[in-house]
Amino acid sequence: MYLTLLKTKLHGATVTKTDLHYEGSIAIDENLMDAAGLVEFERVDVWNVTCGSRIETYVIKGERGAGEVMLNGGAARHAEPGDKVVIAAFATVEADTARNYKPTVVIMGEGNAVKSIR
């Protein structure tokens, strides 16, 4: 049997920009992608803590070191710059592995700086 578990999340990220006319996705600063273990084109859920919206999209690389978290295309209708979001990715693991599995949780600080990783 396989279980789907949280792989990683960026908790408390701040949306920096939205672009309705871009083809879609969420652009995330490459440093934040590295901290969370996200890869380009990986599927993610974006939970908007500010307004309660929940969407699914995929990651594209944002400018490294810029602190960018930018929702594009239709996803742009689900957030405004300044909104707080949780960005989560999941992995499928064998049930036996799941018992000892630990996700990566990146706690975000001011300006989308990494506050801590656990």
Residues that are catalytic:
25, 58
DSSP secondary structure string for all residues of the chain: -EEEEEEEEEEEEE--EEETTSSSEEEEEHHHHHHHT--TT-EEEEEETTT--EEEEEEEEEPTTTT-EEEEGGGGGG--TT-EEEEEEEEEEEHHHHTT---EEEEE-GGG-EEEE-
